[in-house]
Chain A
Amino acid sequence: MLELNYFLVLSALLFSIGVVGVLVRRNAMIIFMCIELMLNAINISLVAFSSFLGNDSGQIFVFFVLTVAAAEAAVGLAIVISLFRNKESLDIDKINILKW
């Protein structure tokens, strides 16, 4: 039978792969996709806890995570478009106005 910890290990692995992507890749689009991957990994553990404990609050929380992910995708892609319009590049090493 499937146990709770299998799903949690899968979630931990996907989250860590997302962390690698955010830290290693230099393309702003791919960093953005890795953030979506990490949100998805968290959703797996929320749904797993919800099913195994028999409480539906976890699945409700997944809805709000989805809402925030959709809003974040809309605003983030708008930022990416306006960055590309000004810099002609999505390399985050070249986007350094706020760095010091």
Chain B
Amino acid sequence: MNIETIIFLVFGITAVVSAVLMVTRKNPIISAIFLILNFFTVAVIYLLLKAQFIAIIQVLVYMGAIMVLFLFVIMLLNLKENKKPSEYSFKKITAILISILLALLLGTSVYFGFQGKQMNEVAEKIGTAESLGRTLFTTYSFHVLAAGMLLLAAIVGAVMLAKKKFE
């Protein structure tokens, strides 16, 4: 086992465990902190995939901006914890069984469908900010403008929704 495989195993298992803990914790703040841990491990996985710029963007935007917004809203709302213990209803057990089935289906089909593929040699070149920026602002320039319009609409919509009443 070389060093890359060990790093992948350690961070992959951490990602899955932190995701499970995020789903099962009662307190939303603890869930959010486990989600931040999960995002960090995913950033390390991106580094293993030689996508350095995406890894940095993941840390800056997901961990830095989106999760801070989530934590801010959770602390702002002052949620009361419901004391009643979680009951295991028919609906919940069915949902968990169907999800396990989905995981098995996706996992086996993807595991046996893409066996033996090795990392491409140009992978180190296309992950840099220079190469991604060149593609983003030439081939996909229209899409960047559309994404900008989407963000503008989201800002205006968020302000309108969070206002106390419409005037």
Q: Which of A's residues lie within 8 Å of B, judged by CB? A: 1-21, 23-25, 27, 29-30, 32-34, 36-37, 40, 43-44, 47-48, 50-57, 59-60, 62-64, 66-75, 77-82, 84-85, 90-91
User: What residues of B have a CB within 8 angstroms of the CB of A50 in the complex?
Assistant: 49, 51, 126
Residue on B nearest A18 in the bound complex, by CB: B19
Q: Which of B's residues lie within 8 Å of A, judged by CB? A: 2, 4-5, 8, 12, 15-16, 19-20, 22-23, 28, 31-32, 35, 38-39, 42, 45-46, 48-51, 53-54, 57-58, 61-62, 65-66, 69-70, 73-74, 76-77, 79, 82, 92, 95-96, 98-100, 102-103, 106-107, 110-123, 126-127, 131-132, 135-136, 139-140, 143, 147, 150-151, 153-155, 157-159, 161-162, 164
Sample of 15 more A-B contacts, CB < 8 Å, known A57-B135, A78-B161 = A3-B117, A10-B45, A14-B16, A16-B99, A16-B106, A17-B19, A23-B95, A23-B96, A50-B51, A51-B126, A52-B119, A63-B136, A67-B150, A77-B69, A78-B162
Query: Which DSSP category, helix, strand, loop or mixed, fits chain B's interface?
Result: helix
User: What residues of A have a CB within 8 angstroms of the CB of B96 in the complex?
Assistant: 20, 23-24
User: What residues of A have a CB within 8 angstroms of the CB of B50 in the complex?
Assistant: 51
Chain A nearest CB, measured from B14 CB (Å): 11
Chain B nearest CB, measured from A81 CB (Å): 5
Chain B nearest CB, measured from A73 CB (Å): 5
A59 x B42 contact (CB < 8 A)? no
User: What residues of A have a CB within 8 angstroms of the CB of B92 in the complex?
Assistant: 23-24
B16 x A10 contact (CB < 8 A)? yes
